[in-house]
Amino acid sequence: MDRIFYVYTLAGKSAVLYTGVTNDLARRVQEHQEKQIPGFTETYNVTRLVWFEAHSTAVGAIAREKQIKRWARAKKVALIGGFNPRWGDLSSEVIVHPGQERGE
The tens digit of pLDDT for each residue in 66-87 reads: 999 999 999 999 999 999 999 9
- Helix and strand tally (H, E) in the chain? 5, 3
| 9 pLDDT more than 90 | yes
| 102 pLDDT more than 50 | no
Domain 5-94 has CATH 3.80.10: no
Split at pLDDT 50, 70, 90, the class of 100 is very low
Categorise residue 45: left if φ over 0, alpha if ψ from -120 to 50, beta otherwise.
Answer: left
pTM over 0.85: yes
Contact assessment for residue 33 and residue 44, using Cβ atoms and an 8 Å cutoff: no
Distance from C-alpha of 46 to C-alpha of 44, rounded to nearest angstrom: 6
- pLDDT given at position 99: 53
| 104 pLDDT more than 50 | no
